[in-house]
Amino acid sequence: MATDVIFQAGQITKLQRAEMLNQTPICLWFTGFSGSGKSTLAHRVEAEFHALGRHVYVLDGDNVRHGLNSDLGFTDGDRVENIRRVTEVARLMVDAGLIVIVAFISPFRADRLMARNGFESGEFFEVFVDTPLAICEQRDVKGFYKKARNNEIQHFTGISSCYEPPEYPELRLTAGTTSIEECVKQILSLITA
């Protein structure tokens, strides 16, 4: 960690940027197994916000690993760093006045707490996309579960690496049995409440 770095404050505040965009900046943090529906829901919610004229962006776990986090693997240490980096990006985006939707497995409670603590009160909403592992494996749209079961992928969440479900998320979605439309409605209700 750099020690000879001083934070440079700007002249425009987060509040001023949010007022210019006419919205309340927040971070919606979607967590759950691979195949739970996090990315599908994130992009559907993004489209809903966009239709309402909101400035919104999705940070998707797979997409971020193509660039910013392309140097990270899936060991526990790499997963911690993955979440630390995306938290910083999401925090900067909220500071810019945006609505940011993070769709990351983020398997460890401590990492999600660290993410939450990077935001001011009322800016962070944890959404647990609670889809049973068996349903995620049935979906297996990327073929990862099959590879993990055949030991072709190491450190795969739910198979050879643990997932710690949230204890107190702002919203728990039963995405395995609830329609996408109803899940999106619940998410939007959480934000507009």
pLDDT per position as a tens digit, 85-113: 999 999 999 999 999 999 999 999 999 99
Q: Please tell me the distance from the alpha carbon of residue 124 to that of residue 102, in angstroms, as a whole number.
A: 10
* CB-count burial class (<10 Å; 0-12, 13-18, 19+) for 158: buried
Identify the pLDDT of residue 6.
Answer: 66
Could you report the per-residue pLDDT of 5-57, keeping only the tens digit for each? 666 677 788 888 889 999 999 999 999 999 999 999 999 999 999 999 999 99
pTM score, two decimals? 0.92
Is there a catalytic annotation at residue 106?
yes
- Can you name the residues that pair with 129 across neighbouring β-strands? 173
CATH: 3.40.50.300, 3.40.30.110, 3.40.228.10, 3.30.420.40. Which one for 14-192? 3.40.50.300
What pLDDT was estimated at residue 12? 86
What is the secondary structure of 59-114 as a DSSP string?
Answer: EEHHHHTTTTTTT--SSHHHHHHHHHHHHHHHHHHHHTT-EEEEE-----HHHHHH
Rg over alpha carbons for the chain, rounded to the nearest Å, is 17
Give the separation between CA 179 and CA 177, rounded to whole angstroms. 7
How high is the pLDDT of residue 96? 95
**pLDDT digit string (tens) for 140-178?**
888 889 999 999 988 899 898 899 999 999 999 998 899
Judged by DSSP in three states, 172 sits in strand
Q: Report the mean per-residue pLDDT for the chain.
A: 91
Q: 3-state class of 50 per DSSP?
A: helix
pLDDT for 193 equals 53
Q: Where are the domains of the chain?
A: 14-192
Name the catalytic one among 70, 106, 160, 179.
106
Which stretch, 58-67, 124-133, 144-153, has highest mean pLDDT?
124-133
* CA–CA separation, 136 and 73 (whole Å): 21
Residue 69 has pLDDT above 80, yes or no: yes
Q: Which residues pair with 10 in a beta bridge?
A: none
The DSSP bridge partners found for residue 29 are 102, 126
